[in-house]
C-alpha cells in the first residue's frame, strides 16, 4: 500500500514538516515511483536572484493541496508512491561544480525513484537534469514552457547559465531535434537570428500570442503533434505565466499565460510518456500573497497527476 499525505482532518495544514503536499519523506517509504526534489540554486541567473529559496516557498504553499484531482479524475498519491526527497546540494560559489552535483544527485536519486519532479532553483538546472534523463531514455522530446527561449549561446562569455540550458542540451545530443517544443514564448529578443538559431537547435515555438488567437485546445493539439509518442521531459519556468499570476520570478515578461491555461495544457498532455519534469525560477522575495508559489505548487501537482494517469 502506498503511503499518502498527512491527514489534514487530524493534523492542521499549517502544522508539521513542510514536505511537498505533506507527503512522506523518501526515507520513510520502501520505494518511490516519483520523487519530488528541490534544487535550491540560483547562481546562473542574469537578473533578479532569489530562486534558491524557491523549493521551500513552493513546499509551504503546497500544504493546501488535496489528495484527489477531479480535473484529471485521479488520486495521484494512491496510484503511485510519491515522496519528498528533500533538496540536492549545489555549490552556490562554483557554477560548474553545481551543475555536476545536480547531475550526480539526480542520477543517484533516480536509482530510488522511477521519475523525478524537480523544484528549482533557476533554469540552469534543466541542463544537468536532461543529462541524467537522456542517459536512461536517450534523446528526449522536451516541452519547455517559458517566456524566453533559453537557447542563447553565452552570457558574459559563460556557456552555462539560466538562459542557455537548451542550447547546451541540444549540442550535447540530449534532446530529440524533431520533437521538442517551446510554449508561451513572448517578449523582445536580441534579434531575429535568435529564432533562426532556436529552430536549428530543434524547437518548434507555440507563443502566448498563438494561444490568445487560437485557444488552448489548438495549442494542445499542436504540442501533441510535435511531441508524439516519444519520451517527454517537461521543463516549466514559472515566468511562462503572466506576472499577474506569477510576480515572484527573476525575469518577468508581460502578456503571459494564465495559471488556468497552463494547468489545462498539462492536463491535455497527461497520456503522453512523461519521464521527468522541473518547475523553476520561483523567487519568493518578489512574490505577493504566495501567488507564484500557489501556482507553482499546482503545476507540480498536475505533473505528478499526469504521470499517475499513464500508470493507473
CA-nearest of 129, 128, 109, 59 to 293 is 59
Name the DSSP class of 155.
B
| Distance (Å, whole) CA 86 – CA 304 | 16
Q: Is the pLDDT of residue 2 over 80?
A: yes
pLDDT band at 310 (very low <50, low <70, confident <90, very high): low
What's the pLDDT at 311? Answer: 59
Decide: pTM greater than 0.85: yes
CATH of domain 20-311: 3.40.800.10
| Distance (Å, whole) CA 286 – CA 228 | 37
| Distance (Å, whole) CA 257 – CA 243 | 9
Give the relative orientation of helices 259-267 and 216-227 as an angle to the nearest 10 degrees.
Answer: 40
* pLDDT, tens only, 201-259: 999 999 999 999 999 999 999 999 999 999 999 999 999 999 999 999 999 999 999 99
* pLDDT, tens only, 43-84: 999 999 999 999 999 999 999 999 999 999 999 999 999 999
Helix (H, G, I), strand (E, B) or coil at 152: coil
Can you point out the beta strands (E) in 17-133?
Answer: 32-39, 82-87, 113-120
Structural domain boundaries in the chain: 20-311
C-alpha cell at 187: 517578449
Name the DSSP class of 23.
P
What's the pLDDT at 14? Answer: 86
* pLDDT, tens only, 109-149: 999 999 999 999 999 999 999 999 999 999 999 999 999 99
Question: Phi and psi for 233 in degrees, rounded to 5?
Answer: -110, 130
Amino acid at each position: 500500500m502506498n503511503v499518502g499525505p498527512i491527514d489534514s482532518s487530524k493534523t492542521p495544514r499549517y502544522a508539521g514538516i513542510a514536505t511537498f503536499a505533506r507527503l512522506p519523506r523518501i526515507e520513510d517509504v520502501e520505494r518511490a515511483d516519483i520523487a519530488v526534489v528541490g534544487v535550491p540554486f540560483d547562481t546562473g541567473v542574469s537578473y533578479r536572484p532569489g530562486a534558491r529559496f524557491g523549493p521551500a516557498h513552493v513546499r509551504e504553499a503546497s500544504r493546501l493541496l488535496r489528495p484527489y484531482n477531479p480535473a484529471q479524475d485521479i488520486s495521484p498519491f494512491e496510484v503511485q508512491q510519491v515522496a519528498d526527497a528533500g533538496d540536492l546540494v549545489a555549490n552556490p560559489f562554483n557554477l560548474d561544480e553545481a551543475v555536476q552535483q545536480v547531475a550526480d544527485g539526480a542520477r543517484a536519486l533516480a536509482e530510488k525513484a522511477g521519475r523525478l519532479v524537480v523544484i528549482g532553483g533557476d533554469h540552469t538546472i534543466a541542463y544537468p537534469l536532461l543529462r541524467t534523463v537522456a542517459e536512461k531514455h536517450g534523446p528526449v522530446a522536451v516541452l519547455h514552457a517559458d517566456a524566453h527561449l533559453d537557447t542563447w549561446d553565452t552570457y558574459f562569455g559563460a556557456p552555462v547559465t539560466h538562459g542557455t540550458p537548451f542550447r547546451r542540451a541540444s549540442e550535447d545530443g540530449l534532446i530529440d531535434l524533431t520533437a521538442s517544443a517551446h510554449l508561451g514564448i513572448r517578449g523582445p529578443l536580441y534579434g531575429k537570428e535568435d529564432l533562426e538559431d532556436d529552430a536549428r537547435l530543434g524547437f518548434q515555438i507555440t507563443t502566448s500570442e498563438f494561444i490568445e488567437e487560437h485557444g488552448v485546445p489548438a495549442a494542445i493539439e499542436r504540442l501533441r503533434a510535435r511531441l508524439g509518442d516519444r519520451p517527454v521531459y517537461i521543463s516549466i519556468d514559472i515566468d511562462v505565466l503572466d506576472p499577474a499570476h506569477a510576480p515572484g520570478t527573476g525575469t518577468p515578461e508581460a502578456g503571459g499565460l494564465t495559471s488556468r491555461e497552463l494547468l489545462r495544457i498539462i492536463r491535455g498532455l497527461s497520456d503522453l510518456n512523461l519521464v521527468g519534469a522541473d518547475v523553476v525560477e520561483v523567487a519568493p522575495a518578489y512574490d505577493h500573497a504566495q501567488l507564484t508559489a500557489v501556482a507553482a505548487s499546482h503545476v507540480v501537482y498536475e505533473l505528478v497527476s499526469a504521470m499517475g494517469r499513464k500508470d493507473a
